[in-house]
Structure 1
């Protein structure tokens, strides 16, 4: 199935959609370090990005008319700074708000479905009106704002037209807030997904159910099976998961930092000949509010930061209380990037790409579910068409 990627960053969503069976034709991204990452892996023959056309620059400047009809999926994560807790929270007043640009690309390409993700901050009460506006804007991409029209006035018009006159192009949009740790990602990373299906696609879709849980991790640590598997000495068996253990929980345990880093050697200044981007970054220190991610729990959400990478979220805290920065490869493991995928640039830029990324495993889970329902919709539509032709043929004979 054909797909287009917007605001691709270092490639987390792109890799996930490829693993789900989509073939990304064009990726648009303005950050040169991220574009170098995509091009370097593509030119190096990495299979999940082979043949992609990397468009470096503003997504609004891409000539989308060159993309042929029949796109199945548009995916992307518009810049999160307008809505993140660490940003200024300016929403529509922030020039980095790219939700209108996203809706415009959907209008032009008319994909059968889209996956748009962003930070949990978008669901804050302060953004409630804009959050609802985004849903209507994505649901009706052809109802564009008039020249000089504020987003508030556009929102009111969208509400009125949503309940009366309908545009030719409509999408059924389902927003869902999820924790990546609940889907096997070794990191507590909350993201909001807007998944939409074109109105002529009978998808009958719902967001995939969680596969992992905190209670299952707590149970595995309480009965020592987790500690025994990792051969952790008894004096270091400290549980930090603040939830009750449910013995009959059918889900798998949350994956921890220790789970993610299993098999990686301890990093050194000179790096590793076997593992890409696995170089020790000195200078980590702990202070109030920046204690790092405990090794026997899912990591805190990796962050890109507005003024460089903050230390607390991107540090490993070992059982003895010592801290050090995650290497780029370790951070890539926490974001479930493949070991063969190289992150281009110095440590700060590579970590920025990872801090902005969608975890590959979470992207694959969502994209695979979308693809399965697109396949089913195609099958049912084809079967209905055959039935109608057969019925018409019978009617013709009878007549």
Structure 2
């Protein structure tokens, strides 16, 4: 059973599900939890984590290992009807009416900058990654929490449908349709003590007549935590400290990449070359192969004096050693504690780490939301129909 702020289990002495009261820690349920970065941030901020959920098995295994007392639902959320959602909360030892906050990050790849700038309306309906926020809000409507936090990729703020509506505004409308006024903001992780330049959009909604507040930055520029600081004391005995078996040719390239540099900084002799002609026999071909251009994080070495670039499934080069980072080191850039162990193959682990909300950023958001309690439980209902959405498009 989850443990409350007073040390008691989530169920009462008579075995009945516990309902929240003004003296108890607020209760949070997570959906699209992944490995649990956002959930861990809320746990650290003093919330009772009642429930986690994700349909991807490696992430589910990681979550269960690190949250052994939290009920985990390994299901496709689209397959969970209202009774199943309530039953999951009851299995966790909580009253379904006692969930204070619902959090989650519906899959977001359909909104990434690698896709077209405009999304056809019918294509939005076809791509499950673009409409899972509706499923997330369906779960919210079942549990009726006072507050909701949803995370997505920063590029969503620029996305428009073919009839020139912003997707972010469609999401705000969807919140309102479920009875929640909503604001959104792009947060920069490095401003909250995370050693990584990572931008994500967060939607915060409430069904109560209270102002929506996002956390103010805690770390001014010039005091940002650097990649060098985050990686300084990593040791081989840490979980997921698995080194890559790198070929000599790649190692030679790595040795030529300066701190903060990448593939572009290699001498031409070490860059990838490719024949662009139509000649079938390259031995007799009169043409010279052309250098292939590479972008982004390919052969990117971190600058030890700066925060890391955005962590994804592409592994960075260590700032001072001629090797790729280990999964543990990538997890440190996401502010996971060293005792948080990841399950699955190395590819699975890297995907879990890259998709997660940085724990420290999640914790700052949770602290801000924690300030609403217990008063928000007795606040008057909100009227989202007359609520004027604050536009933050200037952050794009």
Q: Give the TM-score, by structure 2 length.
A: 0.69
Among 139, 163, 174, the alignment partner of 2:176 is 139
Among 186, 208, 224, the alignment partner of 1:254 is 224
Two-structure CA RMSD over aligned residues (Å): 2.1
Matches within 5 A, 1:98-117: 98-117=132-151
Partner in structure 1 of residue 210 of structure 2? 203
Unaligned runs of 5+ in 2: 1-25, 90-95, 255-261, 265-294, 381-396
Q: Kindly state the Cα deviation for residue 295 of structure 1 after the two structures are TM-superposed.
A: 2.1
Partner in structure 1 of residue 27 of structure 2? 2
Q: Kindly state the Cα deviation for residue 189 of structure 1 after the two structures are TM-superposed.
A: 0.5
Q: Give the TM-score, by structure 1 length.
A: 0.68
Larger RCO (CA within 8 A; separation ≥ 6): 2
Unaligned runs of 5+ in 1: 42-48, 142-169, 217-252, 266-271, 305-309, 382-399
Question: What do the CA deviations read for 1:283-323 (whole angstroms, capped 9, x no partner)?
Answer: 3655233223322211111113xxxxx3xxx213535xx65
Among 28, 36, 56, the alignment partner of 2:61 is 36
Question: What do the CA deviations read for 1:190-235 (whole angstroms, capped 9, x no partner)?
Answer: 0000011113xx4334211111233x2xxxxxxxxxxxxxxxxxxx
Q: Kindly state the Cα deviation for residue 378 of structure 1 after the two structures are TM-superposed.
A: 4.5
Among 219, 234, 259, the alignment partner of 1:212 is 219
Among 68, 73, 76, the alignment partner of 1:58 is 76
CA distance in 2, matches of 1:78, 1:374: 26
Matches within 5 A, 1:285-324: 285=254, 286-288=262-264, 289=295, 290=298, 291-304=300-313, 310=314, 314-318=315-319, 323-324=322-323
Q: Kindly state the Cα deviation for residue 278 of structure 1 after the two structures are TM-superposed.
A: 1.0
Q: Kindly state the Cα deviation for residue 138 of structure 1 after the two structures are TM-superposed.
A: 1.4
2:351 aligned with 1:344, yes or no? Answer: no
CA distance in 2, matches of 1:87, 1:342: 33
The answer to whether the 8 Å contact 2:225/2:307 transfers is: yes
Q: Secondary structure of the equivalent of 1:193?
A: strand
Identify the structure with the greater helix proportion. Answer: 1
The answer to whether the 8 Å contact 1:315/1:323 transfers is: no
The answer to whether the 8 Å contact 1:180/1:359 transfers is: yes
